[in-house]
Structure 1
Amino acid sequence: MNTTRPSAVRPRLMGPERLAFRLLLPSVAVLLLVIAYPVLRAVYGSFFDDRPMGPAAFIGFDNYARALWGAGGADFWAAFRVTFLFTVVTVVLEVLIGLGMAAIMHRSFRGRGLLRASVLVPWAIPTAVAAVLWRWAFDPRGIVNHLFGADVTWTGAEWPSKFAIVFADTWKTAPFVALLILAGLQIIPKEVYEAARIDGAGVLHRFRHITLPLVKPALVVAVLFRMLDALRLYDLPAILTNGANDTTTLSILVVRASLGDLKPGYGGALSTLTFLLIFVTAFLFVRLLGAGALGRDRT
């Protein structure tokens, strides 16, 4: 018979939790200062007009109405479509390429450590620097046209511009996805594959019924991180095309309204809508796919 009282067990259970809470407090405070305050400030400012002289007047949801179905509706929904196009295409390509890269790096061969280090070089390059490098490469007199013997103005038309942005983003961030998937592959016991080989399972069968189910948690995390990053894409299109040729993303639209047009109220409404879009997308993704993949019971 267990005579341990609940009151005696609770302090021992709460000890590590209290320690973890105290250790996280500085980070939470910094996040609140760096992230929460600007977000709340933008939300607050979005309810005021952008008059150039005198104090701003409270206008309620007029800035949101302007962005969604008013004078700025066409620009907002065009940026919305472009942002989701870039997100879907780049995430799919990066997952497929990253999965292949992770499978190769997971094998045992001579020089594997050097390969893993070299693969991460594109991801380690700052995005702004990578964008400038690719702008030079996609120049009409750049190396891309030289290699393919083409004469394409890659950043001067709609679809070549979109291709250039997708290519540059995939080149830079596919190694990051590969790194996360590789971490998931390394925790799969080798005995599982050996037992499958003994049972006569082929390569495709092992990949479908062993690798994919067991690497799914890491894959979900990789897709979530990349999806959130792609939804706020700014650097690459801003430097490569400056949003021209139907490559304006929501982040470019926010910066253009807030800084270029000097309309902080309208820019605050756009940034709030972008934040809500990212939040809802992440919530639905985790709710529909992430809970099962991460081993959580949906109630």
Structure 2
Amino acid sequence: MSYIILTAAAGALCWVALTLFQNLAKKKTDPLPDKDGHKLKWKPSLAYRKTKGDDTAASSLIRYDEYSLSLTERCICIVIGSLVLGIIGYIFYKNAIAAMVLGCGGLYSPIIWRKQMIRKRQAQLQLQFKQALSSLSSALGAGKSVESAFKEALTDLRLLYPDSNAFIVKELETVNRRIENGETVEAALKDWSDRAKVEDIQQFADVFVTCKRTGGNLVQVIRRTAAIIQEKLDIQQDIQVMMAQKRFESKVLTFAPLVVIALLNFSSPDYMEPLYQGTGLLIMTTALLILIGCYAITKWIMDVKV
């Protein structure tokens, strides 16, 4: 009965903490009011970089390869990570000290969460960039200039993404504003690609800059590059859809041994007792290492890049 109570309480705490954590992470993309009551583009905790010659907070630009966790987020990360690892340690060793030692690994959980948030934001920007390429290619095909095409793409994306805080809307607003201020399109795209650290955006910016310098058919090159990148993104989305079920199955198989061990401890404690003393501890340690190795291999296999 103690195992059931412990598991239920831990699950409830994890669910509550994770819900609060996700709400905090979502609020980090909400705009903040400035001194005049206007809304800023991004919160400082999302990692800013100010543009050259502009020292106002409203002109700060987000860097997608950086993510700063607040103190609250760090604490929640550590609590959830330590709680989960502590439960796993207690299930495998049935010892409070071993559970506490394994729970210390939760101190590393903020780093894991920060990397996940960076990948999530970059993936979101990459998906939105696909729509921007489609609008840009259509505008260029209609005979518009590059500058007019970016304005047309911004108008289309505002209809597609009503949320004014959408990454692609903010970035296209920045590009158009820089063009209006006299900067070149290639300079604006280059800065965007440097901040985004997304391969497709970097490739598009490099092709654009090269075409501008060499004097090639800019419209034709951009349309061709946009078509290639869109095809690549379509393939990536198809792969993600096909692997979604496999990812879920891998998570179930990863946690299944923990559930089985906990149930056996509850239903037949005498049967499991030899595994918690003597050479049984070595067997449980080996099983835990194998489980961790299988999880790492599964993550590596599922990380398919195009």
Report 1 or 2 for greater relative contact order, CA contacts < 8 Å, sequence distance ≥ 6: 1
TM over 0.5: no
In the superposition, the TM-score normalised over structure 1's length comes to: 0.29
In the superposition, the TM-score normalised over structure 2's length comes to: 0.28
